[in-house]
Structures are given as structure tokens and as C-alpha cells.
Structure 1
Amino acid sequence: MSPRDALAHAAAHLRCAAAAAEDRAAQDALNPWWAVAGTIELVAAGLDPIPTEITLSTVDVHQHLQAALAALDEMPADDAPSDFAFWRAHVGDLRTNAVALDGTPAGTTGGDC
């Protein structure tokens, strides 16, 4: 996978994770998942500001965050953008925070991708 494709693929998974987090928030702006969804969208835009059409199967927020990390981890260090470590760390933090917020990473699906 080319560096550009890896970033686009990770961002696509993040956008799906954001949609799944919004579903969990159930349109409640005070629900913590609502804030998580917005933060995920910001990180996705940082990785790939112009969304690329990538078809992904619908899975839960945790699986999309894990898939985004996997896509980023496929990028060779020599080909990575200069701010790659910054964005990779944010995706890792998002995954950690989502697991902590949920208490259990498996079981809930949502988000149209």
C-alpha cells in the first residue's frame, strides 16, 4: 500500500468510527460519544483532508479504530510524512479512550460506511 493510500485508508476507517460513535451518542450532544465522534473526525481530516471514496464493511467503532491503526502501521517510516508520529499517537489515544469509555470493545455495531 502506498503512503497516500495508507493515510486515505486510515482516514476512511476513522470517518466510519466517527459515524459509529455518533450512533452511540443517539443525537445527545451531552453524551461523551458525541465528543469522541467529533475528535475522530478532526484526526481523520488531519490524515486525509479530502475524503477518498473507500468502501468498508460496517463494523463497530473499536474495530474501525483498530483498522485505522493497522493501516498506519503499514506505512514505512521512510515514506511517512513529517507529522506522522503526531497523528499516529492521536489515533492510538482515540482507541484507548474509546475502550475506556465503553468498558468493553466488542458487541456494538453502527455507522454507515
Structure 2
Amino acid sequence: MKLTYPVVAALVAAATVAATMSAAPAQADPTTDAFIATLQHYRLGDIDPATAMRVGQTVCPMLSEPGQNAANVAADVADALGRPLGPATMFTGLAISIFCPRAVSAMTDGVPFSFLR
């Protein structure tokens, strides 16, 4: 049997549809979704989501470094995002509340961030 171009194209299209339909659905990360939604709520949603996640996830490790505080981290976030300190401070606070809630307790209890290590 000789296959013609339309037959081959139809077979390729059918195989593509079958592969797409049998692929496992992507699982959404609730933390990621919550962070992006929170940024949008506080009018910081114009930050690229991939960049927001990358920078947001660095906040907790930075806070756990000896001698670091939220102000230092916010300055680093401002540099990473290319934003003024005001919006970067808001971003940092939101990242802390979502990615490292133990740090919120530490701030209210006066415990140094280094315990997060």
C-alpha cells in the first residue's frame, strides 16, 4: 500500500491528538497559584510570573542567613526585580507570608531568622 501525503498527514495528526489526550494533566502548585494571585491582588501582577516565583523563593533562604533582616532582603529583591524599594518591600512581605510562614512567627516573637536554617 502506497501512502500519499494526505494519508500520512492524517496519521501524524491522529497520533498527535492521541498523544496529547493521553498525557497526564499538569498539576497546579497551590503555593505558586496563591503567590501569583496575591501579587495580582496587591497590584504587583505585572511582574513576570516565572521571575516572581524565582525571586520569591529566594526570600526565605536569604532571611535565614546570619545578620540578614527583612529590610536587607527587600533591598536585594528590589535589585532582582528592578523595582523601587516600596514595591519590593511589599513583594518581600508577601513572599515571607506565603513561602516561609515560620518567619512571620519569628518576626512577631522577636526570634532571629537564623533559626529557619
TM-score norm. by structure 2 comes to: 0.30
Q: Which has the higher contact order (CA 8 A, sep 6+)?
A: 1
TM-score norm. by structure 1 comes to: 0.31
Comparing both structures, which one devotes a greater share of its residues to helix?
Answer: 2
The structure that has the greater radius of gyration is 2
